[in-house]
Amino acid sequence: MKRHTITARGIRALAATAALGLALTGCSAIGQQAPSSTDSTGASNGTVTILTHDSFNISEEQIAAFEAASGYTLVTTAPGDAGFVVNQLILSKDAPTVDGVYGIDNYSAQAVIDAGALAPYGSPALPESAKTYSVGSELTPIDMGQVCINIDHEWFAANGVAEPTTLDQLAEPEYAKLLVVTDPATSSPGLAFLVATIAAKGEDGWQDYWKALLAGGTKVAAGWSDAYYTDFSGADGKGAYPLVLSYSSSPAYTGGATGSIEATCTTQVEYAGVVAGAKNPEGAQAFIDYLLSNEFQAGLPDNMYMYPVDDRVSLPTEWSEFAALSANPLDLDAATVAANRTAWISEWTTLNESR
């Protein structure tokens, strides 16, 4: 989201744990049947299938803990970034093949609710601090963070270029060619950044801003993982772009070798829900409850580089130094985004295709 693999949204999946994520995805498919499991009473509860974005990262220990406590065998399927998850969920709503979903972002949440793709569920495990992120009875907030432009400090120092500090600077020719972002039609960070530019430039100004970015050479990647790990010079791939759309928490992963531009940040919340018409809604409910457990919430910073929604969970010490949240994020009302989301993405796509 795809807060870090953060999941995206993430970074949410570190190189050391990417193999696990791929293994889960490779062994899972929508509708795939897994061996039934047995709960503590000896009852067989069967399989629960969860649709996630491809930055979702859950450890083997966490899987084992969930399966032992619930009696369900967990199967996950990840079609791509969060945008793909939303589209697949809506398109398959009349014939669902999964039980639950994780990774719906706050700027897509209302569209999924309005499509009737989710069933109401209120988890008894929801902490008080998470209720501020609630958007309805169908979705449960799991984690949050901020989508921001990240900067490779070492590249700018080595090349004698002053670092940009504002949104406007990014559209200047000097910097536009150094930036890689993600497609808002397929990527939740991409959609979040589109919303941030609309919040900053208004309904009548965001198109010109994007024209300047695209004409200046800004690259558009399909998803967060490609943009961060392949294109970004400050990550493992040592790519050609020293500016990337990522998260405010990403610099904690690099130990401060990278940073985030606070003037570009927007809030992202990730939700989980029970799919309407699911074969195993009880299994999906149990999985949502587990995502709110202290065990899973405490692992979010390390596993997916997102903030837990439970404010009772302690954060790693380096987060206070390298993963600060912007005090003035470029946010828009969720209802406004829901009413305009399809039109904005369509307009952006036309701009990108015509550059």
Domain ranges of the chain: 3-144+268-322, 146-266+325-354
Q: What is the pTM of this model?
A: 0.82
Q: Look up residue 103 and give its two tokens.
A: 């990774």
Round the CA-based radius of gyration of the chain to a whole number and report it. Answer: 20
Tokens 């799991």 — which residue? 142
User: Do the first three CATH levels of 3-144+268-322 and 146-266+325-354 match, i.e. the same topology?
Assistant: yes
Peptide bond into 9 cis (omega under 30): yes
In contact, 102 and 86? CB cutoff 8 Å: no
C-alpha 75/C-alpha 284 separation (Å) is 11
Q: Looking at the domain 3-144+268-322, which fold is it?
A: D-Maltodextrin-Binding Protein; domain 2 (3.40.190)
Per-residue model confidence (pLDDT) at position 117: 97
In contact, 9 and 82? CB cutoff 8 Å: yes
Cα angle 135, 141, 146; round to 5: 95
CATH of the domain spanning 146-266+325-354? 3.40.190.10
Nearest to 307 by CA among 235, 226, 250: 250
C-alpha 225/C-alpha 103 separation (Å) is 15
Classify residue 342 as exposed, middle or buried by CB count within 10 Å of its CB (0-12, 13-18, 19+). Answer: exposed
- Mean pLDDT per 10-residue interval, the chain, length 355 residues: 37 33 30 38 72 92 96 93 87 95 93 95 96 94 97 97 98 98 92 97 97 98 92 90 96 94 97 97 98 96 93 92 94 92 96 93
The most distant pair of C-alpha atoms in the chain lies apart, rounded to whole Å, by 66
Instruction: Please count the other Cβ atoms lying within 10 Å of the Cβ belonging to residue 270.
Output: 37
Q: Look up residue 206 and give its two tokens.
A: 């965001």
